[in-house]
Amino acid sequence: MSKNDFYKKLEDVVRTGKAPYVIESGQGAYLTINGKKKLNFCSSHYLGFAEDQRLKTAVKKAVEKYGVGTGYRTLAGTHTLHLELEEAIAKFKGTEASVVFSSAYMANAAAIQTIIGKEDIVISDELNHASIIDAVRLSGVKNKFIYKHADTSDLEEKLKEAQKVQKAPKSDGEEPLILIVTDGVFSMDGDLAPLPGIVRLAEKYKALTMVDDAHGEGVLGKGGRGVVDHYGLVGKIDIEIGSLSKAFSVIGGFIAGNRTLIGYYNLKARQRLFSIAPTIPDTAASLEAIRILQKSDAAVKKLWENVNYVRNEFKKLGFDTGNSQTPITPVMLGSDEVAKEFSTRLFDEGVFATPIVFPMVAKGAARIRVIPSASQSRKDLDVGIKAFEKIGRQLGVIK
């Protein structure tokens, strides 16, 4: 392809791309878009920390004391705040240690690429997050098995196949390693990975387990400790991934696990060696968010109160809200067109909730994914529910 044709091809794609909404406010109960207030009804700021005064104060103090930038961890970038944050995360998750990265995308890449080589084996849920899929690709592993979503019998079939592959030693003579990897919470439907079954099978087949809990931390388990705590499996998962960008409302990701594993990542993860560490304000804000949760589960309780209220009201109105076990509340609308029209009309009513359409979900399974947050009052939630009722009737989704 000539350079001209190449740019023409890109132009065709860019022309059809939709410009993003531009937010002119903080990410609280409401957003300001084009100068107008819209209920923030689909964000992952579960706990309302994005505008929390305690996080703001912690950031100001840390910036006054330490400035902004840090550095590369292995050179001169490991700051006492990083170590405090890693210790706080490990304590929160109930693991021996943790290591932070600039995002969960990075943490997933590091978690898999560092320990999995071409001749090892990865077994992955078919609906895993894009960052896991990319991380598996980055490792260059050839033996990939994809099991049916949340299906432990299919996982066992794949483990049996993996066991056969495992019989042939790698070129260095070692036995291939088997890694089972899954999202903890699946973000389109809000359902959970069947972790007890996965852990049982991993023990039977001597495989490592990895759980990406980006949507579970701050939300599930005791005081928001995540999906592993929710199932009472603390200490039973080898590799736990978390994001500091969802419930914690900052930026960053981490791997939590035993001391040996984290020690190995500290020495070997390319994402830690060759990419910058989180900045002072990011680290201070994340640390404060975790300290708040260590002290009190008030925000988590408020989140769930709000979620239960919205979901009950939606059900009473006759909406199909799927089978979510988390605050992710899909309002099922069928066709892409209905979902897009529904979202446009919500916007006109002062409610921001974007449509989820093909290829993010299957054809015919389009939806609006509502996520209430702890920052909202009953009155705020009623604004959203009333708008859903009005437009649901207009579009014939409910009677």
Ligand X SMILES: *Cc1c(COP(=O)(O)O)cnc(C)c1O
Among 50, 192, 214, 338, binds ligand X (CB under 6 A): 214
Residue number, 103 or 343, with CB nearest to ligand X: 103
* Torsion (CA) 262, 265, 271, 277 in degrees, nearest 10: 40
Residue number, 28 or 216, with CB nearest to ligand X: 216
User: Applying CB under 6 A, does 212 fall inside the site for ligand X?
Assistant: yes
C-alpha to C-alpha distance for 382 and 41, rounded to whole angstroms: 11
User: Applying CB under 6 A, does 113 fall inside the site for ligand X?
Assistant: no
Closest approach, Cβ 317 to ligand X, in A, equals: 28
Residue number, 127 or 262, with CB nearest to ligand X: 127
Residue number, 150 or 397, with CB nearest to ligand X: 150
187 given a catalytic annotation: yes
Residue number, 103 or 283, with CB nearest to ligand X: 103
User: Applying CB under 6 A, does 40 fall inside the site for ligand X?
Assistant: no
C-alpha to C-alpha distance for 47 and 29, rounded to whole angstroms: 10
Among 38, 45, 93, 215, binds ligand X (CB under 6 A): 215
Window of 34-42, 59-67, 99-107, 119-127 that interacts with ligand X by CB under 6 A: 99-107
Catalytic residue among 129, 158, 246, 302: 246
On whether the CB atoms of residues 155 and 201 are closer than 8 A, the answer is: yes
Catalytic residue among 45, 129, 215, 230: 215
Closest approach, Cβ 380 to ligand X, in A, equals: 24
In three state form, how does the secondary structure of 81-142 look?
HHHHHHHHHHHHHCCCEEEEECCHHHHHHHHHHCCCCCCCEEEEECCCCHHHHHHHHHHCCC
C-alpha to C-alpha distance for 50 and 52, rounded to whole angstroms: 6
Write out the H or E segment, with its range, that includes residue 299.
helix 298-317
Neighbours of 378 (CB within 10 A): 9
User: Applying CB under 6 A, does 326 fall inside the site for ligand X?
Assistant: no
Catalytic residue among 124, 187, 243, 373: 187
246 given a catalytic annotation: yes
On whether the CB atoms of residues 119 and 162 are closer than 8 A, the answer is: no
Closest approach, Cβ 215 to ligand X, in A, equals: 5
Residues 129-148 that bind ligand X (CB under 6 A): 129, 131
The contacts of residue 295 (CB under 8 Å, 6+ apart) are: none
Residue number, 176 or 184, with CB nearest to ligand X: 184
Residues binding ligand X: number (CB under 6 A): 13
Residue with token string 């909730």: 353
Site pattern 161..190 for ligand X (x: CB under 6 A): ----------------------x---x---
Cis before 330? omega within 30: no
Residue number, 162 or 198, with CB nearest to ligand X: 198
Window of 69-77, 90-98, 103-111, 268-276 that interacts with ligand X by CB under 6 A: 103-111
User: Applying CB under 6 A, does 191 fall inside the site for ligand X?
Assistant: no
Among 104, 179, 180, 269, binds ligand X (CB under 6 A): 104
User: Applying CB under 6 A, does 103 fall inside the site for ligand X?
Assistant: yes
Closest approach, Cβ 175 to ligand X, in A, equals: 29
Closest approach, Cβ 107 to ligand X, in A, equals: 7
- Rounded to 10 deg, the angle between the 280-295 and 80-93 helix axes is 30
- The gap from C-alpha 227 to its chain's centroid, in whole angstroms, comes to 12
User: Applying CB under 6 A, does 105 fall inside the site for ligand X?
Assistant: yes
DSSP 241-292: EEESSSTT-S--EEEEE-HHHHHHHHHH-HHHHSSPPPPHHHHHHHHHHHHH
* Torsion (CA) 56, 244, 199, 157 in degrees, nearest 10: 150
Window of 102-110, 145-153, 267-275, 324-332 that interacts with ligand X by CB under 6 A: 102-110
Residues 238-257 that bind ligand X (CB under 6 A): 243, 245, 253
- Residue 377 burial by Cβ neighbours in a 10 Å radius (0-12, 13-18, 19+): exposed
Residue number, 217 or 380, with CB nearest to ligand X: 217
- Rounded to 10 deg, the angle between the 280-295 and 298-317 helix axes is 80
C-alpha to C-alpha distance for 322 and 328, rounded to whole angstroms: 10
Which residues does the annotation mark as catalytic?
187, 215, 246
Q: Which residues make up the interface to ligand X (CB under 6 A)? A: 103-105, 129, 131, 183, 187, 212, 214-215, 243, 245, 253
